[in-house]
């Protein structure tokens, strides 16, 4: 095949991939809507039609993975119909899992898929900045993380691009195209749109309240002043443009009436909320550990105990201090309701209750609780889980792996020669490298994988249902791609690599021992030349056990 023919073939493949991924985007955007609305026959028909178009397109252009996912989604939708058109927790979980796979298809298989092709799944980012060199530099950095960025140099170029295609997001300088021109252009772009385009505003000078208020009214999701840090910008763009909704909210319902729990479950399931019910309150702590709900709904009066007593039991456990508790009861005495809320409750709803009222209360409380928890268990620089929480997640995963007899791997990563980066380029550059690796890992690992910042330049990854060989293949691919990133610096651009150690769970092994084995494998990777992945082998295990 000639070079020209190979180029034409590549372009054709890219065109086919774009057609399929466009259909995938439509399916994913429809699924996102469930987080803000409720299941209905109209919604179901729209989702079914979009998924059928995806399946047809995938078959036509020979994209077997997308065809397989479309088929699995259709089977789930048929199961909903067989369930009298109702969602239940199992179906919500299965559909969400398929949607997550659809959004990340090809990024985890290690099968030679090109993430550059998969970036077509995202709409472009429009860069409207006064400094053309800054725009070009940002565009190159965004490309490394799977974004397609289009630098624009004038108001007319911006309007023309907008007429051709709506972007995933806009990075707009306040004074682009004249004093305050960026604000006016953004406001103009939002006119007639049902859903506003997300805009990230930038100003070299500190902006006053009036300017920031105008930015909010023009769809501003964030406002950067002074400098436009690429790492921070990447993180915000990832949040604003990711294709799948956050994991469905999970609610634990505790009520001795089976009829009431079924009724509450149906109301919440119709809004895409996963539920688990208990009629025996004595089982609550075991259910909390296994289910890890975002919110708990308690009946006030149960034969075994009062709801207020159960709330106290729950609050005594430090892991559940911040989980919202809503009382749902027929009790209409205001004084008793207030007393109950003083005993560990966050809200009191009276039966009977309208579905819309219950759903809105649960969504709002669960969203705030997630935000609060994220601040408590996540590292402030990277947004990854902190050291304490990643070890807790490892222990949770170890218990599930033993119970379900599934493999589990734990990986530790360390950025090579990081002290030299700080010494030569300064700590801001060191922070940028750390944040970039954090985002790189989040983009390329599964949603079910847990990523933490272990400390300094060291990271940890919990990989459920993954053996060591698979974990090594996945992380080695990430290692190679991360080493290709160039960070703009003087006198020359900076490239970084990382070393990685992996250990797989065996037998009755404790989480602490698994982490120690991964650390030992990382040590070997460092001493074998760095920029490599090492696995804790059986020979090392026997030596480790003998020394212990």
**Fold classification of 123-241 (topology level):** Rossmann fold (3.40.50)
Tokens matching residue 473 = 């293949």
**Fold classification of 387-547 (topology level):** Alpha-Beta Plaits (3.30.70)
Note every long-range contact of 4-13, with CB atoms under 8 Å and residues 24 or more positions apart, other chains counting.
13/117
Whether the CA torsion 360, 363, 364, 365 is positive or negative: it is: positive
Q: In terms of pTM, does the model score above 0.75?
A: no
**Fold classification of 250-376 (topology level):** Rossmann fold (3.40.50)
Task: List Cα–Cα distances, 180 to 174, 207, 213, 228, 506, in angstroms.
Answer: 5, 11, 13, 18, 62
More confident residue, 412 or 122: 412
pLDDT digits (tens, 9 = 90+) for 437-456: 998 898 888 878 999 999 99
What is the per-residue pLDDT for 11? 55
Calculate mean pLDDT across residues 489-505: 90
pLDDT digits (tens, 9 = 90+) for 66-83: 899 999 999 999 999 999
Closest to 369 (Cα-Cα) out of 479, 250, 490? 250
**Fold classification of 12-117 (topology level):** 1.20.120
The number of helices, as runs of H, and strands, as runs of E, in the chain is 21, 15
What is the per-residue pLDDT for 117? 37
Q: Report whether the peptide linkage leading into residue 525 is cis, meaning its omega lies within 30 degrees of zero.
A: no
CA 274-276-282 angle, to 5 degrees, is: 155
Tell me how crowded residue 73 is: count the other CB atoms within 10 A of its CB: 25
Specify burial of residue 148 (Cβ count, 10 A radius: 0-12, 13-18, 19+).
middle
What is the per-residue pLDDT for 527? 92
More confident residue, 134 or 531: 531
What is the per-residue pLDDT for 366? 92
Q: Report whether the peptide linkage leading into residue 352 is cis, meaning its omega lies within 30 degrees of zero.
A: yes
Calculate mean pLDDT across residues 410-417: 96
What is the per-residue pLDDT for 547? 47
State in Å, rounded, how far the first CA of the chain is from the last one.
Answer: 60
pLDDT digits (tens, 9 = 90+) for 272-331: 999 999 999 999 998 998 898 999 999 989 888 888 899 999 998 888 888 999 999 888
Q: pLDDT confidence of 114, banded at 50, 70, 90?
A: very low
Instruction: Please name the helix (run of DSSP H) or strand (run of DSSP E) that holds residue 254, with its range, or none.
Output: strand 250-254
Tell me how crowded residue 506 is: count the other CB atoms within 10 A of its CB: 15
pLDDT digits (tens, 9 = 90+) for 88-105: 999 999 998 898 888 766
How large is the angle between the packed helices 538-547 and 511-527, nearest 10 degrees?
A: 110
Q: Is the pLDDT of residue 514 over 90?
A: yes
Q: pLDDT confidence of 352, banded at 50, 70, 90?
A: confident
Whether the CA torsion 305, 350, 352, 79 is positive or negative: it is: negative
pLDDT digits (tens, 9 = 90+) for 218-272: 989 999 888 777 777 877 887 777 655 568 899 999 999 999 999 999 999 999 9
Q: Is the pLDDT of residue 459 over 90?
A: yes
Separation between Cα atoms, residue 306 and residue 329, nearest integer Å: 11
Q: Report whether the peptide linkage leading into residue 206 is cis, meaning its omega lies within 30 degrees of zero.
A: no
User: What average pLDDT does the structure give for the chain?
Assistant: 86
More confident residue, 416 or 18: 416
Q: Is the pLDDT of residue 10 over 90?
A: no
- The answer to whether 12-117 and 123-241 have equal CATH topology is no
Please tell me the least confidently modeled range out of 117-131, 145-159, 372-386, 396-410: 117-131
* Rg (alpha carbons) of the chain, rounded to whole number: 25
Q: Name the percent of the chain lying above pLDDT 90.
A: 48
β-pairing, 295-298 with 325-329?
A: parallel
Closest to 65 (Cα-Cα) out of 16, 28, 110, 101? 101
Q: What's 301's DSSP letter?
A: B
- Contact between 102 and 69 (Cβ < 8 Å): yes
Instruction: Please name the helix (run of DSSP H) or strand (run of DSSP E) that holds residue 298, with its range, or none.
Output: strand 295-298
- Contact between 329 and 301 (Cβ < 8 Å): yes
Tell me how crowded residue 12 is: count the other CB atoms within 10 A of its CB: 11
Q: pLDDT confidence of 16, banded at 50, 70, 90?
A: low
| DSSP string of 322-365, one letter each residue | TS-EEEEES---HHHHHHHHHTT-SEEEESS--HHHHHHHHHHH
Domain borders along the chain are 12-117, 123-241, 250-376, 387-547
Specify burial of residue 178 (Cβ count, 10 A radius: 0-12, 13-18, 19+).
exposed
What is the per-residue pLDDT for 119? 44
- Contact between 172 and 182 (Cβ < 8 Å): yes
Calculate mean pLDDT across residues 367-392: 87
Residue 406, C-beta contacts closer than 8 angstroms, at least 6 positions apart: 400, 464, 465
Tokens matching residue 70 = 């479309």
Residue 38, C-beta contacts closer than 8 angstroms, at least 6 positions apart: 270, 271, 355, 359
Q: Is the pLDDT of residue 403 over 70?
A: yes
Separation between Cα atoms, residue 189 and residue 196, nearest integer Å: 9
The DSSP bridge partners found for residue 498 are 415
Q: pLDDT confidence of 29, banded at 50, 70, 90?
A: confident
The order of strands in the sheet holding 347-350 is: 274-278, 250-254, 295-298, 325-329, 347-350
What is the per-residue pLDDT for 140? 82
Q: What is the three-class DSSP state of 150? A: strand
Calculate mean pLDDT across residues 202-224: 90
Q: Report whether the peptide linkage leading into residue 491 is cis, meaning its omega lies within 30 degrees of zero.
A: yes
Separation between Cα atoms, residue 340 and residue 333, nearest integer Å: 11
- Contact between 271 and 354 (Cβ < 8 Å): no
Calculate mean pLDDT across residues 384-404: 92
């Amino acid at each position: 095949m000639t070079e020209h023919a190979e180029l034409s073939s590549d372009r054709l493949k890219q065109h086919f991939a774009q057609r399929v991924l466009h259909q995938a985007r439509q399916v994913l955007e429809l699924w996102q809507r469930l987080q803000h609305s409720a299941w209905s026959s109209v919604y179901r028909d729209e989702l079914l039609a979009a998924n059928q178009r995806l399946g047809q397109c995938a078959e036509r252009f020979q994209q077997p993975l997308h065809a397989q996912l479309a088929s699995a989604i259709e089977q789930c939708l048929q199961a909903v119909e067989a369930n009298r058109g109702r969602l239940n927790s199992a179906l919500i979980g299965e559909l969400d899992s398929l949607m997550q796979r659809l959004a990340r298809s090809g990024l985890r298989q290690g099968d030679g898929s090109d993430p550059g092709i998969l970036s077509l799944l995202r709409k472009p980012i429009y860069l409207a900045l006064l400094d053309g060199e800054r725009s070009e530099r940002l565009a190159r950095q965004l490309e490394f993380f799977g974004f397609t960025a289009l630098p624009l140099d004038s108001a007319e170029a911006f309007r023309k691009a907008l007429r051709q295609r709506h972007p995933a997001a806009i990075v707009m300088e306040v004074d682009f195209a004249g004093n305050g021109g960026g604000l006016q252009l953004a406001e103009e772009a939002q006119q007639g749109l049902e859903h506003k385009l997300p805009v990230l505003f930038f100003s070299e000078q500190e902006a006053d309240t009036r300017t920031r208020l105008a930015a909010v009214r023009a769809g501003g999701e964030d406002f950067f002043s002074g400098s436009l840090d690429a790492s921070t910008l990447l993180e915000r763009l990832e949040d604003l443009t990711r294709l799948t909704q956050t994991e469905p909210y999970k609610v634990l319902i505790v009520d001795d009436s089976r009829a009431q729990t079924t009724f509450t479950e149906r109301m919440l399931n119709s809004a895409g909320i996963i539920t688990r019910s208990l009629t025996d309150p004595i089982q609550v702590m075991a259910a909390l550990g296994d289910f890890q709900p975002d919110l708990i709904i308690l009946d006030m009066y149960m034969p075994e105990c009062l709801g207020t007593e159960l709330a106290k039991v729950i609050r005594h456990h430090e892991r559940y201090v911040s989980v919202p508790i809503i009382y749902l009861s027929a009790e209409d005495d205001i004084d008793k309701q207030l007393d109950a809320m003083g005993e560990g409750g966050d809200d009191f709803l009276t039966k009977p209750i309208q579905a819309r009222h219950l759903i809105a209360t649960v969504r709002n409380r669960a969203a705030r609780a997630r935000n609060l928890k994220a601040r408590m268990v996540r590292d402030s620089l990277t947004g990854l889980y902190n050291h304490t929480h990643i070890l807790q997640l490892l222990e949770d995963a170890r218990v599930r792996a033993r119970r379900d007899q599934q493999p589990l791997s734990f990986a530790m990563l360390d950025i090579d020669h990081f002290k030299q980066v700080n010494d030569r380029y300064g700590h801001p550059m060191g922070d940028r490298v750390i944040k970039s690796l954090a985002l790189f890992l989040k983009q390329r690992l599964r949603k079910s994988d847990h990523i933490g910042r272990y400390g300094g330049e060291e990271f940890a990854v919990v990989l459920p249902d993954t053996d060591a060989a698979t974990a090594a293949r996945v992380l080695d691919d990430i290692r190679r791609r991360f080493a290709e990133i160039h960070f703009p610096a003087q006198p020359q651009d900076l490239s970084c690599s990382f070393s990685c150690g992996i250990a797989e769970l065996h037998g009755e092994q404790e989480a602490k021992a698994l982490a120690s084995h991964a650390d030992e494998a990382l040590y070997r990777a460092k001493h074998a030349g760095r920029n490599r992945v090492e696995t804790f082998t059986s020979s090392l295990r026997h030596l480790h056990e003998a020394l212990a």
